[in-house]
Structure 1
Amino acid sequence: MRLSVDTALKDIYPEAVQKFISVYENLKSDDDENWANAVLTCRRIIKEVADSLFPPLAEPIEVSGKLIKVGEDQYINRLIQYIESKSSCGKIKSDVGSYLKFISETLDNVHEAANKGAHTEVTLQEAERYIIYTYLVIGDVLSL
Protein backbone atom coordinates (compact mmCIF):
# COMPACT_ATOMS: atom_id res chain seq x y z
CA MET A 1 0.00 0.00 0.00
CA ARG A 2 2.76 2.45 0.89
CA LEU A 3 4.34 2.29 -2.54
CA SER A 4 1.03 2.95 -4.29
CA VAL A 5 0.17 5.87 -1.97
CA ASP A 6 3.65 7.40 -2.31
CA THR A 7 3.52 7.03 -6.10
CA ALA A 8 0.09 8.63 -6.33
CA LEU A 9 1.18 11.46 -4.00
CA LYS A 10 4.28 12.13 -6.11
CA ASP A 11 2.04 12.48 -9.17
CA ILE A 12 -0.27 15.12 -7.68
CA TYR A 13 1.82 16.72 -4.93
CA PRO A 14 5.52 15.79 -5.12
CA GLU A 15 6.46 17.68 -1.94
CA ALA A 16 4.09 15.55 0.16
CA VAL A 17 6.47 12.61 0.43
CA GLN A 18 9.22 14.90 1.73
CA LYS A 19 6.75 16.48 4.17
CA PHE A 20 5.82 13.04 5.51
CA ILE A 21 9.52 12.31 6.00
CA SER A 22 9.79 15.56 7.97
CA VAL A 23 6.72 14.56 10.00
CA TYR A 24 8.34 11.24 10.91
CA GLU A 25 11.55 13.04 11.90
CA ASN A 26 9.52 15.25 14.27
CA LEU A 27 8.17 12.12 15.92
CA LYS A 28 11.71 11.06 16.87
CA SER A 29 11.98 14.12 19.10
CA ASP A 30 11.32 14.15 22.83
CA ASP A 31 9.70 17.59 22.48
CA ASP A 32 5.90 17.72 22.40
CA GLU A 33 6.08 20.91 20.33
CA ASN A 34 7.68 18.90 17.53
CA TRP A 35 4.85 16.38 17.77
CA ALA A 36 2.29 19.20 17.46
CA ASN A 37 4.21 20.56 14.45
CA ALA A 38 4.04 17.10 12.85
CA VAL A 39 0.26 17.12 13.27
CA LEU A 40 -0.02 20.63 11.80
CA THR A 41 2.03 19.51 8.81
CA CYS A 42 -0.51 16.72 8.24
CA ARG A 43 -3.22 19.35 8.01
CA ARG A 44 -1.19 21.24 5.41
CA ILE A 45 -0.63 18.02 3.44
CA ILE A 46 -4.37 17.33 3.33
CA LYS A 47 -5.03 20.89 2.17
CA GLU A 48 -2.41 20.65 -0.57
CA VAL A 49 -3.86 17.35 -1.75
CA ALA A 50 -7.29 19.01 -1.87
CA ASP A 51 -5.82 21.93 -3.83
CA SER A 52 -4.43 19.49 -6.38
CA LEU A 53 -7.52 17.30 -6.72
CA PHE A 54 -10.25 19.94 -6.47
CA PRO A 55 -8.86 23.48 -6.69
CA PRO A 56 -10.73 26.17 -4.73
CA LEU A 57 -13.60 27.98 -6.40
CA ALA A 58 -14.71 31.51 -5.56
CA GLU A 59 -18.39 30.66 -5.80
CA PRO A 60 -20.23 27.92 -3.88
CA ILE A 61 -21.44 24.91 -5.80
CA GLU A 62 -24.91 23.41 -5.61
CA VAL A 63 -25.15 19.86 -4.31
CA SER A 64 -28.56 18.25 -3.81
CA GLY A 65 -30.20 21.67 -3.70
CA LYS A 66 -27.76 23.08 -1.13
CA LEU A 67 -24.96 25.57 -1.72
CA ILE A 68 -21.61 24.23 -0.56
CA LYS A 69 -18.60 26.52 -0.14
CA VAL A 70 -15.52 25.17 -1.88
CA GLY A 71 -13.13 28.08 -1.43
CA GLU A 72 -9.56 28.16 -0.19
CA ASP A 73 -10.42 27.36 3.43
CA GLN A 74 -13.02 24.69 2.65
CA TYR A 75 -10.49 22.04 1.67
CA ILE A 76 -12.51 19.25 3.34
CA ASN A 77 -15.63 20.19 1.36
CA ARG A 78 -13.51 20.09 -1.77
CA LEU A 79 -12.12 16.66 -0.96
CA ILE A 80 -15.60 15.36 -0.22
CA GLN A 81 -16.77 16.66 -3.59
CA TYR A 82 -13.78 14.95 -5.21
CA ILE A 83 -14.73 11.68 -3.48
CA GLU A 84 -18.32 12.10 -4.66
CA SER A 85 -17.18 12.59 -8.23
CA LYS A 86 -14.83 9.59 -8.27
CA SER A 87 -16.69 6.87 -6.45
CA SER A 88 -19.80 5.09 -7.62
CA CYS A 89 -20.05 3.00 -4.46
CA GLY A 90 -22.09 4.70 -1.75
CA LYS A 91 -20.42 2.76 1.07
CA ILE A 92 -16.92 3.74 -0.04
CA LYS A 93 -17.94 7.38 -0.34
CA SER A 94 -19.53 7.25 3.09
CA ASP A 95 -16.60 5.50 4.78
CA VAL A 96 -13.87 7.68 3.27
CA GLY A 97 -15.92 10.82 3.87
CA SER A 98 -16.45 9.88 7.53
CA TYR A 99 -12.77 9.16 8.10
CA LEU A 100 -11.84 12.39 6.35
CA LYS A 101 -14.23 14.45 8.48
CA PHE A 102 -12.93 12.84 11.67
CA ILE A 103 -9.26 13.44 10.96
CA SER A 104 -9.84 16.94 9.59
CA GLU A 105 -11.78 18.00 12.70
CA THR A 106 -8.99 16.72 14.89
CA LEU A 107 -6.27 18.42 12.84
CA ASP A 108 -8.30 21.65 12.70
CA ASN A 109 -8.61 21.67 16.50
CA VAL A 110 -4.83 21.41 16.87
CA HIS A 111 -4.38 24.13 14.23
CA GLU A 112 -6.86 26.50 15.91
CA ALA A 113 -5.20 26.06 19.29
CA ALA A 114 -1.81 26.85 17.75
CA ASN A 115 -3.21 29.96 16.02
CA LYS A 116 -4.56 31.24 19.34
CA GLY A 117 -1.08 31.02 20.78
CA ALA A 118 -2.09 28.25 23.13
CA HIS A 119 0.44 25.59 23.86
CA THR A 120 -0.85 22.67 21.87
CA GLU A 121 -0.46 19.55 23.95
CA VAL A 122 -0.18 16.55 21.71
CA THR A 123 1.16 13.30 23.07
CA LEU A 124 3.47 11.18 20.99
CA GLN A 125 0.78 8.49 20.75
CA GLU A 126 -1.80 11.04 19.53
CA ALA A 127 0.62 12.46 16.97
CA GLU A 128 1.42 9.01 15.65
CA ARG A 129 -2.28 8.19 15.36
CA TYR A 130 -3.09 11.45 13.52
CA ILE A 131 -0.23 10.90 11.10
CA ILE A 132 -1.28 7.34 10.36
CA TYR A 133 -4.91 8.38 9.90
CA THR A 134 -3.85 11.19 7.58
CA TYR A 135 -1.76 8.86 5.45
CA LEU A 136 -4.51 6.23 5.27
CA VAL A 137 -7.23 8.74 4.39
CA ILE A 138 -5.08 10.26 1.65
CA GLY A 139 -4.37 6.76 0.37
CA ASP A 140 -8.10 6.01 0.27
CA VAL A 141 -8.89 9.25 -1.54
CA LEU A 142 -6.14 8.70 -4.10
CA SER A 143 -7.24 5.13 -4.75
CA LEU A 144 -10.68 6.20 -6.01
Structure 2
Amino acid sequence: MTKTEKALEACEKVLDGIEENSISTSSALLQCLKISRLLNDYNAIVWFQYEYGGYPRTDDGKHIQSEAWNIAYKNGRGYIDEGNKVIFTELASELEEKIVAQHKAVNNFSTQGTAISGDYALGAVNNLTSAVARSTNGIVSNIALSEKRLSILKSRYYDYALKKQIEVAFGNVAESVFSEYRKKVENKFSDLSKDTILKLQAVEDKINSDNPELYSQALTTCRRLFENTSKELFEQYFPEYKDRMYKTKSGKEIDVSGDHFKNKLSAVIETLEGKSATKSIVGSNIIYLLDWIDNLNDLQCKGVHSDISKQDAMRCIIQTYICLGDILNLQSD
Protein backbone atom coordinates (compact mmCIF):
# COMPACT_ATOMS: atom_id res chain seq x y z
CA MET A 1 0.00 0.00 0.00
CA THR A 2 1.41 3.40 -1.00
CA LYS A 3 1.59 6.42 1.31
CA THR A 4 -1.24 8.03 -0.62
CA GLU A 5 -3.43 4.96 -0.19
CA LYS A 6 -2.64 4.85 3.53
CA ALA A 7 -3.54 8.54 3.80
CA LEU A 8 -6.87 7.94 2.07
CA GLU A 9 -7.56 5.04 4.41
CA ALA A 10 -6.85 7.27 7.42
CA CYS A 11 -9.14 9.96 5.99
CA GLU A 12 -11.95 7.41 5.74
CA LYS A 13 -11.41 6.36 9.36
CA VAL A 14 -11.73 9.94 10.55
CA LEU A 15 -14.74 10.80 8.40
CA ASP A 16 -16.65 7.57 9.02
CA GLY A 17 -15.72 7.53 12.70
CA ILE A 18 -16.93 11.05 13.38
CA GLU A 19 -20.08 10.66 11.27
CA GLU A 20 -20.97 7.39 13.00
CA ASN A 21 -19.74 8.56 16.42
CA SER A 22 -17.53 5.47 16.60
CA ILE A 23 -14.20 7.21 17.14
CA SER A 24 -13.07 9.53 19.92
CA THR A 25 -11.87 13.01 19.07
CA SER A 26 -8.39 12.23 20.39
CA SER A 27 -8.24 9.15 18.14
CA ALA A 28 -9.36 11.23 15.16
CA LEU A 29 -6.53 13.65 16.01
CA LEU A 30 -3.94 10.86 15.80
CA GLN A 31 -5.32 9.78 12.43
CA CYS A 32 -5.06 13.38 11.19
CA LEU A 33 -1.44 13.50 12.37
CA LYS A 34 -0.85 10.32 10.38
CA ILE A 35 -2.48 11.84 7.29
CA SER A 36 -0.33 14.96 7.50
CA ARG A 37 2.83 12.86 7.89
CA LEU A 38 2.01 10.59 4.95
CA LEU A 39 1.25 13.58 2.71
CA ASN A 40 4.26 15.61 3.94
CA ASP A 41 1.96 18.43 5.04
CA TYR A 42 4.47 20.21 7.27
CA ASN A 43 2.19 22.96 8.60
CA ALA A 44 -0.45 20.41 9.56
CA ILE A 45 2.18 18.19 11.23
CA VAL A 46 3.19 21.09 13.49
CA TRP A 47 -0.45 21.90 14.26
CA PHE A 48 -1.41 18.31 15.12
CA GLN A 49 1.73 17.82 17.21
CA TYR A 50 0.65 20.81 19.29
CA GLU A 51 -2.89 19.43 19.44
CA TYR A 52 -1.59 16.11 20.72
CA GLY A 53 1.25 17.14 23.02
CA GLY A 54 0.21 20.63 24.03
CA TYR A 55 1.02 24.12 22.84
CA PRO A 56 4.54 25.19 23.90
CA ARG A 57 4.87 27.96 26.45
CA THR A 58 7.38 30.73 26.98
CA ASP A 59 10.34 30.15 29.30
CA ASP A 60 8.47 31.56 32.30
CA GLY A 61 5.58 29.17 31.62
CA LYS A 62 2.99 31.94 31.79
CA HIS A 63 2.12 32.31 28.12
CA ILE A 64 1.81 30.27 24.93
CA GLN A 65 4.62 31.00 22.48
CA SER A 66 3.56 33.55 19.86
CA GLU A 67 3.80 31.30 16.79
CA ALA A 68 2.02 28.45 18.56
CA TRP A 69 -0.67 30.86 19.81
CA ASN A 70 -1.37 32.02 16.24
CA ILE A 71 -1.66 28.42 15.04
CA ALA A 72 -4.12 27.65 17.84
CA TYR A 73 -6.20 30.76 17.20
CA LYS A 74 -6.60 30.22 13.46
CA ASN A 75 -7.48 26.54 13.95
CA GLY A 76 -10.59 27.07 16.01
CA ARG A 77 -9.24 27.59 19.51
CA GLY A 78 -9.63 31.35 19.48
CA TYR A 79 -12.49 33.41 20.86
CA ILE A 80 -13.19 36.91 22.16
CA ASP A 81 -13.34 37.43 25.93
CA GLU A 82 -14.19 40.94 27.15
CA GLY A 83 -12.88 42.41 23.92
CA ASN A 84 -9.62 40.45 23.96
CA LYS A 85 -8.50 37.62 21.70
CA VAL A 86 -7.84 34.50 23.74
CA ILE A 87 -7.52 30.75 23.18
CA PHE A 88 -8.47 27.66 25.12
CA THR A 89 -5.59 25.23 25.62
CA GLU A 90 -7.21 21.99 26.81
CA LEU A 91 -6.26 19.06 24.61
CA ALA A 92 -8.90 16.81 23.09
CA SER A 93 -7.97 13.99 25.46
CA GLU A 94 -8.20 16.35 28.46
CA LEU A 95 -11.62 17.58 27.40
CA GLU A 96 -12.86 14.02 26.94
CA GLU A 97 -11.67 13.04 30.42
CA LYS A 98 -13.09 16.22 31.93
CA ILE A 99 -16.53 15.58 30.41
CA VAL A 100 -16.62 12.01 31.78
CA ALA A 101 -15.55 13.18 35.25
CA GLN A 102 -18.06 16.04 35.27
CA HIS A 103 -20.93 13.73 34.30
CA LYS A 104 -20.02 11.45 37.21
CA ALA A 105 -19.89 14.43 39.56
CA VAL A 106 -23.38 15.54 38.53
CA ASN A 107 -24.76 12.09 39.31
CA ASN A 108 -23.17 12.18 42.76
CA PHE A 109 -24.89 15.42 43.79
CA SER A 110 -28.22 14.60 45.47
CA THR A 111 -30.22 15.25 48.64
CA GLN A 112 -31.59 11.72 48.66
CA GLY A 113 -30.84 9.82 51.86
CA THR A 114 -30.34 13.01 53.84
CA ALA A 115 -32.08 13.03 57.23
CA ILE A 116 -32.39 16.27 59.20
CA SER A 117 -34.49 16.82 62.32
CA GLY A 118 -35.06 19.59 64.79
CA ASP A 119 -36.39 23.12 64.75
CA TYR A 120 -34.13 24.21 61.92
CA ALA A 121 -34.64 21.15 59.73
CA LEU A 122 -36.66 22.94 57.06
CA GLY A 123 -34.11 25.72 56.67
CA ALA A 124 -31.25 23.25 56.58
CA VAL A 125 -32.94 21.21 53.87
CA ASN A 126 -33.59 24.34 51.82
CA ASN A 127 -29.97 25.42 52.15
CA LEU A 128 -28.73 21.96 51.21
CA THR A 129 -31.05 21.78 48.22
CA SER A 130 -29.90 25.22 47.02
CA ALA A 131 -26.24 24.26 47.41
CA VAL A 132 -26.75 21.06 45.43
CA ALA A 133 -28.62 22.97 42.72
CA ARG A 134 -25.88 25.59 42.43
CA SER A 135 -23.15 22.98 42.25
CA THR A 136 -25.10 20.93 39.73
CA ASN A 137 -25.78 23.97 37.55
CA GLY A 138 -22.11 24.91 37.67
CA ILE A 139 -21.01 21.45 36.61
CA VAL A 140 -23.65 21.32 33.86
CA SER A 141 -22.35 24.65 32.53
CA ASN A 142 -18.80 23.30 32.58
CA ILE A 143 -19.92 20.17 30.74
CA ALA A 144 -21.60 22.29 28.08
CA LEU A 145 -18.46 24.41 27.65
CA SER A 146 -16.19 21.36 27.46
CA GLU A 147 -18.46 19.65 24.94
CA LYS A 148 -18.60 22.81 22.84
CA ARG A 149 -14.82 23.07 22.74
CA LEU A 150 -14.45 19.38 21.97
CA SER A 151 -16.96 19.76 19.13
CA ILE A 152 -14.90 22.62 17.71
CA LEU A 153 -11.78 20.45 17.67
CA LYS A 154 -13.68 17.49 16.25
CA SER A 155 -15.05 19.72 13.47
CA ARG A 156 -11.55 20.96 12.62
CA TYR A 157 -10.16 17.43 12.43
CA TYR A 158 -13.10 16.35 10.27
CA ASP A 159 -12.63 19.31 7.92
CA TYR A 160 -8.93 18.52 7.55
CA ALA A 161 -9.56 14.85 6.74
CA LEU A 162 -12.29 15.78 4.26
CA LYS A 163 -10.11 18.39 2.55
CA LYS A 164 -7.22 15.96 2.19
CA GLN A 165 -9.48 13.19 0.96
CA ILE A 166 -10.80 15.47 -1.79
CA GLU A 167 -7.30 16.71 -2.69
CA VAL A 168 -5.82 13.22 -2.90
CA ALA A 169 -8.81 11.76 -4.74
CA PHE A 170 -8.80 14.62 -7.26
CA GLY A 171 -5.05 14.30 -7.66
CA ASN A 172 -5.39 10.60 -8.39
CA VAL A 173 -8.09 11.26 -10.98
CA ALA A 174 -6.06 14.04 -12.61
CA GLU A 175 -2.95 11.86 -12.63
CA SER A 176 -4.92 8.98 -14.11
CA VAL A 177 -6.40 11.19 -16.83
CA PHE A 178 -3.03 12.70 -17.72
CA SER A 179 -1.33 9.29 -17.68
CA GLU A 180 -3.93 7.97 -20.10
CA TYR A 181 -3.46 10.99 -22.35
CA ARG A 182 0.31 10.71 -22.10
CA LYS A 183 0.24 7.04 -23.05
CA LYS A 184 -1.66 7.82 -26.24
CA VAL A 185 0.61 10.71 -27.12
CA GLU A 186 3.81 8.75 -26.49
CA ASN A 187 2.86 6.44 -29.32
CA LYS A 188 2.83 9.49 -31.57
CA PHE A 189 6.13 10.80 -30.23
CA SER A 190 7.80 7.67 -31.55
CA ASP A 191 7.29 9.13 -35.04
CA LEU A 192 9.62 12.03 -34.23
CA SER A 193 13.38 11.94 -34.67
CA LYS A 194 15.67 10.64 -31.95
CA ASP A 195 16.94 14.17 -31.28
CA THR A 196 13.43 15.38 -30.46
CA ILE A 197 12.79 12.40 -28.20
CA LEU A 198 16.03 13.11 -26.31
CA LYS A 199 14.94 16.70 -25.75
CA LEU A 200 11.66 15.46 -24.32
CA GLN A 201 13.52 13.20 -21.89
CA ALA A 202 15.83 16.07 -20.95
CA VAL A 203 12.82 18.17 -19.98
CA GLU A 204 11.56 15.48 -17.61
CA ASP A 205 15.01 15.10 -16.04
CA LYS A 206 15.23 18.83 -15.36
CA ILE A 207 11.86 19.09 -13.61
CA ASN A 208 12.87 16.35 -11.16
CA SER A 209 15.88 18.36 -10.03
CA ASP A 210 15.99 20.74 -7.06
CA ASN A 211 18.38 23.07 -8.88
CA PRO A 212 16.60 26.37 -9.79
CA GLU A 213 18.97 26.92 -12.73
CA LEU A 214 17.64 23.77 -14.36
CA TYR A 215 14.08 25.13 -14.27
CA SER A 216 15.15 27.93 -16.61
CA GLN A 217 16.86 25.38 -18.82
CA ALA A 218 13.62 23.38 -18.88
CA LEU A 219 11.83 26.35 -20.47
CA THR A 220 14.58 26.67 -23.07
CA THR A 221 14.37 22.94 -23.79
CA CYS A 222 10.60 23.19 -24.28
CA ARG A 223 11.11 25.99 -26.77
CA ARG A 224 13.73 24.00 -28.68
CA LEU A 225 11.41 21.02 -28.66
CA PHE A 226 8.85 23.09 -30.54
CA GLU A 227 11.57 24.26 -32.93
CA ASN A 228 12.54 20.67 -33.75
CA THR A 229 8.93 19.59 -34.10
CA SER A 230 8.04 22.51 -36.37
CA LYS A 231 11.05 21.85 -38.60
CA GLU A 232 10.34 18.13 -38.93
CA LEU A 233 6.61 18.54 -39.54
CA PHE A 234 7.09 21.42 -42.00
CA GLU A 235 9.48 19.29 -44.04
CA GLN A 236 6.96 16.46 -43.87
CA TYR A 237 3.93 18.46 -45.02
CA PHE A 238 5.71 20.98 -47.25
CA PRO A 239 8.60 18.91 -48.67
CA GLU A 240 8.97 20.97 -51.84
CA TYR A 241 8.16 24.39 -50.38
CA LYS A 242 10.94 26.85 -51.25
CA ASP A 243 9.18 30.21 -50.94
CA ARG A 244 9.99 32.55 -48.11
CA MET A 245 6.40 33.60 -47.45
CA TYR A 246 3.37 31.41 -46.85
CA LYS A 247 -0.18 32.64 -47.42
CA THR A 248 -2.65 31.46 -44.80
CA LYS A 249 -6.32 30.76 -45.44
CA SER A 250 -7.14 34.17 -44.00
CA GLY A 251 -4.96 35.78 -46.65
CA LYS A 252 -2.20 36.79 -44.27
CA GLU A 253 1.35 36.13 -45.40
CA ILE A 254 3.81 34.74 -42.87
CA ASP A 255 7.56 34.17 -43.12
CA VAL A 256 8.36 30.44 -42.99
CA SER A 257 12.02 30.71 -43.88
CA GLY A 258 14.99 30.04 -41.61
CA ASP A 259 14.27 30.01 -37.88
CA HIS A 260 10.67 31.27 -38.04
CA PHE A 261 9.48 28.11 -36.34
CA LYS A 262 6.28 29.66 -34.95
CA ASN A 263 5.13 30.47 -38.46
CA LYS A 264 6.13 27.02 -39.68
CA LEU A 265 4.06 25.49 -36.91
CA SER A 266 1.13 27.73 -37.82
CA ALA A 267 1.30 26.55 -41.43
CA VAL A 268 1.47 22.90 -40.39
CA ILE A 269 -1.39 23.23 -37.91
CA GLU A 270 -3.56 25.04 -40.46
CA THR A 271 -2.96 22.19 -42.89
CA LEU A 272 -3.72 19.53 -40.28
CA GLU A 273 -6.83 21.33 -39.07
CA GLY A 274 -8.02 21.54 -42.67
CA LYS A 275 -7.81 17.77 -42.91
CA SER A 276 -9.35 17.16 -39.48
CA ALA A 277 -13.04 16.44 -39.12
CA THR A 278 -13.24 18.55 -35.98
CA LYS A 279 -12.35 22.17 -35.31
CA SER A 280 -9.55 22.85 -32.83
CA ILE A 281 -7.74 25.71 -31.16
CA VAL A 282 -4.36 23.98 -31.09
CA GLY A 283 -2.64 26.78 -32.99
CA SER A 284 -3.70 29.58 -30.66
CA ASN A 285 -2.81 27.48 -27.61
CA ILE A 286 0.70 26.85 -28.89
CA ILE A 287 1.36 30.46 -29.85
CA TYR A 288 0.15 31.54 -26.40
CA LEU A 289 2.48 29.03 -24.73
CA LEU A 290 5.50 30.05 -26.81
CA ASP A 291 4.84 33.75 -26.16
CA TRP A 292 4.54 32.98 -22.44
CA ILE A 293 7.90 31.17 -22.49
CA ASP A 294 9.55 34.03 -24.39
CA ASN A 295 8.09 36.67 -22.05
CA LEU A 296 9.26 34.77 -18.98
CA ASN A 297 12.75 34.43 -20.43
CA ASP A 298 12.81 38.14 -21.37
CA LEU A 299 11.81 39.17 -17.86
CA GLN A 300 14.52 36.95 -16.43
CA CYS A 301 17.14 38.48 -18.71
CA LYS A 302 16.05 41.98 -17.64
CA GLY A 303 16.21 41.02 -13.97
CA VAL A 304 12.49 41.63 -13.45
CA HIS A 305 11.83 37.94 -12.82
CA SER A 306 15.18 36.70 -11.56
CA ASP A 307 14.23 33.10 -10.82
CA ILE A 308 12.14 30.63 -12.76
CA SER A 309 10.18 28.67 -10.18
CA LYS A 310 9.54 24.95 -10.23
CA GLN A 311 5.86 25.81 -10.69
CA ASP A 312 6.73 27.80 -13.84
CA ALA A 313 8.75 24.89 -15.19
CA MET A 314 6.05 22.34 -14.38
CA ARG A 315 3.38 24.46 -16.05
CA CYS A 316 5.55 24.85 -19.13
CA ILE A 317 6.31 21.12 -19.39
CA ILE A 318 2.68 20.06 -18.94
CA GLN A 319 1.45 22.59 -21.50
CA THR A 320 4.23 21.60 -23.90
CA TYR A 321 3.28 17.96 -23.60
CA ILE A 322 -0.39 18.73 -24.21
CA CYS A 323 0.25 21.06 -27.16
CA LEU A 324 2.69 18.72 -28.88
CA GLY A 325 0.30 15.86 -28.24
CA ASP A 326 -2.53 17.83 -29.82
CA ILE A 327 -0.43 18.47 -32.92
CA LEU A 328 0.51 14.84 -33.27
CA ASN A 329 -3.06 13.71 -32.61
CA LEU A 330 -4.29 15.98 -35.39
CA GLN A 331 -2.30 13.86 -37.81
CA SER A 332 -4.45 10.83 -37.03
CA ASP A 333 -7.83 12.63 -37.16
Give the TM-score of the pair, scaled to structure 1.
0.83
Q: Deviations over 1:37-59 (max 9, x none)?
A: 01110000011000000148551
Partner of 1:73: 259
Percent identical: 30
1:91 aligned residue (279, 282, 291): 279
Q: Return closer, same or farther for 1:74/1:120 CA change in 2, 3 Å cut-off.
A: farther
Preserved CA contact (<8 Å) 1:32 1:121: yes
SS of aligned partner of 2:279:
helix
Q: Return closer, same or farther for 1:18/1:120 CA change in 2, 3 Å cut-off.
A: farther
SS of aligned partner of 1:39:
helix
Match status 1:62 vs 2:247: yes
Preserved CA contact (<8 Å) 1:33 1:120: no
Deviation at 1:120, TM superposition (A): 5.0
2:226 aligned residue (29, 46, 67): 46
Match status 1:18 vs 2:204: no
CA distance in 1 between partners of 2:231 and 2:297 (Å): 18
1:27 aligned residue (184, 195, 207): 207
Preserved CA contact (<8 Å) 1:110 1:120: no
User: Looking at both structures, which has the greater relative contact order when contacts are Cα pairs under 8 Å and sequence separation is at least 6?
Assistant: 1
Task: Point out where structure 2 has 5 or more consecutive residues left out of the alignment.
Answer: 1-180, 236-240
Q: Deviations over 1:60-96 (max 9, x none)?
A: 112233321112322111111111111235731xx11
Q: Could you list the runs of 4 or more consecutive aligned residues of structure 1 that deviate by over 3 angstroms after TM superposition?
A: 55-58, 88-91, 110-114, 116-120
Q: Which moves more between the two structures, 116-125 or 99-108?
A: 116-125
How many residues get paired? Answer: 141
SS of aligned partner of 1:29:
coil
Q: Deviations over 1:72-123 (max 9, x none)?
A: 322111111111111235731xx11121011110122344457x58585211
Q: Return closer, same or farther for 1:41/1:120 CA change in 2, 3 Å cut-off.
A: farther
Q: Return closer, same or farther for 1:47/1:111 CA change in 2, 3 Å cut-off.
A: farther
CA distance in 1 between partners of 2:264 and 2:242 (Å): 9
Please provide the CA RMSD for this pair. Answer: 2.4
Q: Which moves more between the two structures, 122-131 or 103-112?
A: 103-112
Letter in 1 for 2:213: E
Preserved CA contact (<8 Å) 1:57 1:70: no
Larger Rg: 2
SS of aligned partner of 1:84:
helix
CA distance in 2 between partners of 1:35 and 1:60 (Å): 35
Preserved CA contact (<8 Å) 1:6 1:17: no
Q: Return closer, same or farther for 1:90/1:76 CA change in 2, 3 Å cut-off.
A: farther
Partner of 1:137: 323
Task: Point out where structure 1 has 5 or more consecutive residues left out of the alignment.
Answer: none
Q: Return closer, same or farther for 1:106/1:57 CA change in 2, 3 Å cut-off.
A: farther
CA distance in 2 between partners of 1:53 and 1:83 (Å): 9
Partner of 2:188: 8
SS of aligned partner of 1:12:
coil
